[in-house]
Amino acid sequence: MDLYKNQVRSIDRIFERMMTLTGHTSPLAMVDHMFNRLESHTEGEEVTLWKMVPTRYRVQRDKEGRLILEPVVDSTTKNADTSI
């Protein structure tokens, strides 16, 4: 993938803004913190991931301990969007 100077600078500005908001000292520390937060959820807990519209997911773990996000379907949601 070829990136041009303005695209690289845009990505850099995104990380700068996110680091300012979160207080992390580097992009790697910020990403590491995000993954630690994702892995800290307990089984059965419901979380919201924001795509174009909010979608509720229930956190599950398989036998190997991998994190599985199962879409929550209720009376207001006729069919859950399962694509992540």
Instruction: Dump pLDDT digits (tens) for 7-49.
Output: 888 888 888 888 888 788 887 888 888 788 878 878 888 877 7
Instruction: Dump pLDDT digits (tens) for 41-81.
Output: 788 888 777 777 778 889 998 898 888 888 888 766 555 55
Q: CB of 31 within 8 A of CB of 18? A: no
Where residue 6 falls among pLDDT bands split at 50, 70, 90?
confident
Q: CB of 63 within 8 A of CB of 34? A: no
- pLDDT confidence of residue 75: 61
- pLDDT confidence of residue 56: 87
Tell me the whole-structure pTM to 2 decimals. Answer: 0.36
Angle between helices 5-22 and 27-39 (to 10 degrees): 60
Q: What are the start-end ranges of the H helices in the chain?
A: 5-22, 27-39
Residue 34's contacts (CB-CB under 8 Å, 6 or more residues apart) are: none
